[in-house]
Structure 1
Amino acid sequence: MDLAVLYPGLLCRDADPLLLVQVTEFACGGFVVGVSSNHVIADGAGTVQFLQAVGELARGISPPSCFPIRSWDDSLPVPTASTGATQKSAIKHEPPHLAHLNIVVPSSLISRIKAGAFGSFGELCTSLDAVMAVLWRCRTRAALSPSDGESPAPLKFVCNMRPYVGAPAGYYGNCIRAQVVPATAGAVANGCIGDLVRLIRRAKDKIPDLLSTGGDGGGHSGSGSRVADAAAFHQAQAPLWYEAFSVTDWRYSGLDAIDFGSGAPARVLWHAKRIMERGCVVCPPRRAGRDGGLDLSTVFVKPEHVDAFLGELARLAASAE
């Protein structure tokens, strides 16, 4: 039995509910809350805010501690026609089957990367930077052919733009963009981890520029106090399908603090059966049974590339021991 209700079509249709929630109870007394939603109405932070309010109501707290706010500033630009065309093209494209993997990047590997053991990058390196560099190289080596050396193999990571636009507390609409780290497959596969970290750090430094760039990604004209909805902060999908992948960090989303009356969840996982984009979610730490590394839910390699990817990850982890 599935633990979450899925939309009957490839994506949420006009007549489908914007939010689907299923609670599955087990004989042991535990339960799973599965949530599927239309991303148009809220981003991750907005969805977490809603679930936190549900948890408070379940515990008898009324009204919820955070009042929902939805605002729209008509002075903000919206996506161009080419943006919509690109996204519609991606929706019509039937993606190949991808393997769903739950993996752990060990803390020993993360610590050694942050200490510069795999190439000095001379800058601050976060755990997320280290993990993205590891996934980027291991996946590129496993999934792309050596003949693809000069082909694009970009990394994308989702950015929360709330701090940059002054989103008020309680705003639940989309306020995200994807930052792209461009590189060729050869450079990623053959470069050292430190070089990849450096590329990621430089891309992070340019996140504020996402609000002023024009073109397909839309832009932001004016003060940072304005809040845009989904359209203004969604970047057009790259024309690549398998060559690129994106990373979303859920560790500080608040999902691991939602309490429906029996305490915080033992585990938070992302699971997707219908994939429009190759992705990896860095999950909040589970309450037990891990070594301090980072838990990942990934859907970004084809089944025939799984063994090669896991092998690359294992070799890199062994080099850190």
Structure 2
Amino acid sequence: MSSSSLVFAAQRKAPVLVAPAKPTPRELKALSDIDDQPSLRFYRSGLFFYRHDPSKAGHDPARAVKEALARCLVFYYPIAGRLRDQGGPGGKLLVDCNGEGAVLVDAYADVSIDDFGPALIPPIPCADELLCFPDTSAADVVDRPLLYIQVTRLKCGGFVFGLQICHNIADAPGVSQFMTALGELARGAEAPAVLPVWERALLTARTPPRITYAHPEYEPLPGDDVISPRDALVHRAFFFGPEEIAALQNAAPPHLRNCCSRFDLIAAFVWRCRTAALRYRPQDDVRLQFVVNARGKGGSDPPLPRGFYGNALMFGVASSTAGELRRKPYDYALELVRKAKEGVMAAEGYLRSTADLMVLRGRPRFATKRTYLVTDLTKAGLDRVDVIGWGRPVYGGPASTTLGTFHLLRRNERGEELGVTVPVCLPPEAMERFGAEVESLTKVIGGVRVSRSSRVTQGLEYYSTGISSRL
């Protein structure tokens, strides 16, 4: 069965509320001013595919998840509560830790993991059948459960763990920490190896608030964009393996080769191709905006404790005119990305400045106009989470993509890392131009040659950039 033609309807049982297995504190907890940004008021979704384990014959994954979830919510009891709007112009959200619980749905689908295609890449086919409700970037999160889980058993004996969690409660590393704890408890641990830490006051606005850094991530660009989420969009995934990464690194000038990460190299390259494909005017300002995890860095001031699972998101922003980005060599874009990331990582107290901005400027949303938004999930650990002892997932990551995208690790069946996949979402004509830009741009990056090979994967055109150096 081709994944592009895959159609099925999951047979769902009635949803149940799973409360903490033991009494938990009844209290109100304030979110930080980073947590309760309007741009984060939606449910982050993820899908995790697990193959059949013969040693688990007769084991019900939904029951195992239910039992482990009840125990996990004892430690993560705010997730069993509900968000309340404090009201007023500030729009501050509180967590009512009332122990009502999370939603769990037991489901069955008459398909096998292999029916989804040889490589699972978002958007996952029929993702809405594997989640409790349709995936969306906008949702009402107040007075609703903060966590929804659907466990879908498959005819091959495997199962899919579908998760939707309110983004105001946790970021990607926080979600990975929670799911890791769930798996540890499912396998018999008495407590998670890393105990959860709330401490949202560390990222709450100061008194009095004071903005100490520029925050272009909240400053909209003037004029219009040429693309909208409402447009008809197509999805393709582009793969960067060791040879492609090495070629991009060799194409960088000597002073950048040892200080640029794999993320920097790919993000700068894709940003250039995307900008050209969308045919922005030469004088248009364009941006690359990316997430930087503040854990272990100076941006939080003071450093966040181990076990913190709230939002610790900083944003690096690289800016250029479209004309300069296209006209100048690859190392121009690469230098912009590197400086943007280093500037945020070295800015002591950057997140506190962001929190103060939220209070002083009425909680603005992220600026998205003419902006390529990308999140690096290669280090979040989602692809390694074992939720009930069935091992590493075949795929663990986002259910879908939007105009923003992700860097995702690609592994083989043995769990060995193969490279990085970048799903791209564009209007059809722009996507054709994007593919052509990938070819033509690599030909001129520092003397890099390209030979493209493509294959159909789950209904997506899946490109290997095929970059090879002749420097």
**More deviation in 22-31 or 211-220?**
211-220
Q: 2:285 aligns with which of 144, 152, 169?
A: 152
Shift of 1:6: 3.3
SS at match of 1:102: strand
Instruction: Indicate if the aligned counterparts of 1:121 and 1:194 stay in contact, CA closer than 8 A.
Output: no
Shift of 1:185: 1.1
Aligned to 1:186: 323
Aligned to 2:467: 320
- The letter for the 1-side match of 2:242 is S
Answering whether residue 334 of structure 2 is matched by residue 206 of structure 1, we say no
Instruction: Indicate if the aligned counterparts of 2:203 and 2:351 stay in contact, CA closer than 8 A.
Output: no
Distance 1:74 1:247 in 2: 26
Aligned to 1:265: 393
TM-score by length of 1: 0.79
Q: 1:49 aligns with which of 174, 177, 194?
A: 177
Shift of 1:238: 5.0
- The letter for the 1-side match of 2:467 is A
Aligned to 1:250: 377
Larger helix proportion, structure 1 or 2? 1
Q: Show CA shifts across 1:111-166 (max 9, x none).
A: 11212x26555452221111101110111111133xx1111110011000111232
Q: Structure 2: 5+ residue runs without aligned partners?
A: 1-125, 221-227, 443-449, 452-465
Q: 1:163 aligns with which of 287, 290, 296?
A: 296
Task: Mark the CA change 1:122 to 1:297 in structure 2 (over 3 Å): closer, same or farther.
Answer: closer
Task: Mark the CA change 1:303 to 1:271 in structure 2 (over 3 Å): closer, same or farther.
Answer: farther
SS at match of 1:112: helix
Instruction: Indicate if the aligned counterparts of 1:106 and 1:291 stay in contact, CA closer than 8 A.
Output: no
Shift of 1:174: 0.7
Distance 1:214 1:125 in 2: 23
Distance 1:240 1:195 in 2: 22
Aligned to 1:226: none
Task: Mark the CA change 1:284 to 1:239 in structure 2 (over 3 Å): closer, same or farther.
Answer: closer
Distance 2:165 2:293 in 1: 18
Shift of 1:197: 1.0
Distance 1:176 1:56 in 2: 26
Task: Mark the CA change 1:265 to 1:5 in structure 2 (over 3 Å): closer, same or farther.
Answer: same
Q: Show CA shifts across 1:4-39 (max 9, x none).
A: 233687323313321222222211122222222211
User: Once the two structures are aligned, what percentage of the paired residues are identical?
Assistant: 27
Answering whether residue 153 of structure 2 is matched by residue 28 of structure 1, we say no
Shift of 1:213: 5.6
- The letter for the 2-side match of 1:15 is D
Q: 2:418 aligns with which of 255, 277, 292?
A: 292
Bigger radius of gyration, 1 or 2?
2
Answering whether residue 333 of structure 2 is matched by residue 196 of structure 1, we say yes
Answering whether residue 437 of structure 2 is matched by residue 303 of structure 1, we say no
Shift of 1:265: 0.9
- The letter for the 2-side match of 1:39 is H
Instruction: Indicate if the aligned counterparts of 2:410 and 2:417 stay in contact, CA closer than 8 A.
Output: no
Task: Mark the CA change 1:295 to 1:8 in structure 2 (over 3 Å): closer, same or farther.
Answer: closer
- The letter for the 2-side match of 1:29 is G
Shift of 1:41: 0.5
Shift of 1:176: 1.0
Distance 2:339 2:203 in 1: 30
Task: Mark the CA change 1:211 to 1:245 in structure 2 (over 3 Å): closer, same or farther.
Answer: farther
Distance 1:169 1:118 in 2: 36
Aligned to 1:132: 267
SS at match of 2:309: coil
Task: Mark the CA change 1:285 to 1:120 in structure 2 (over 3 Å): closer, same or farther.
Answer: same
Aligned to 1:5: 132
Task: Mark the CA change 1:5 to 1:149 in structure 2 (over 3 Å): closer, same or farther.
Answer: farther
- The letter for the 1-side match of 2:438 is L
- The letter for the 2-side match of 1:152 is D
TM-score by length of 2: 0.55
Instruction: Indicate if the aligned counterparts of 2:383 and 2:397 stay in contact, CA closer than 8 A.
Output: no
Q: 1:177 aligns with which of 314, 326, 350?
A: 314
Task: Mark the CA change 1:70 to 1:157 in structure 2 (over 3 Å): closer, same or farther.
Answer: same
Task: Mark the CA change 1:52 to 1:150 in structure 2 (over 3 Å): closer, same or farther.
Answer: same
Task: Mark the CA change 1:231 to 1:110 in structure 2 (over 3 Å): closer, same or farther.
Answer: farther
Instruction: Indicate if the aligned counterparts of 1:270 and 1:297 stay in contact, CA closer than 8 A.
Output: no
Task: Mark the CA change 1:271 to 1:149 in structure 2 (over 3 Å): closer, same or farther.
Answer: farther
Shift of 1:182: 1.0
SS at match of 2:296: helix
Shift of 1:209: 5.1
Shift of 1:74: 6.9
Distance 1:86 1:195 in 2: 23
Shift of 1:303: 3.4
Tell me: higher relative CO, structure 1 or 2? Use CA pairs within 8 A at least 6 residues apart.
Answer: 1
Distance 1:161 1:291 in 2: 25
Q: 1:60 aligns with which of 183, 188, 195?
A: 188
Instruction: Indicate if the aligned counterparts of 2:272 and 2:326 stay in contact, CA closer than 8 A.
Output: yes
Shift of 1:262: 1.0
SS at match of 1:129: helix
Larger strand proportion, structure 1 or 2? 2
Q: Show CA shifts across 1:249-283 (max 9, x none).
A: 1111111221121111112232337x5xx311111
- The letter for the 2-side match of 1:156 is Q
- The letter for the 2-side match of 1:54 is L
Aligned to 2:406: 281
Total equivalences in the alignment: 294
Aligned to 2:239: 104
Distance 2:431 2:349 in 1: 39
Instruction: Indicate if the aligned counterparts of 2:132 and 2:150 stay in contact, CA closer than 8 A.
Output: yes
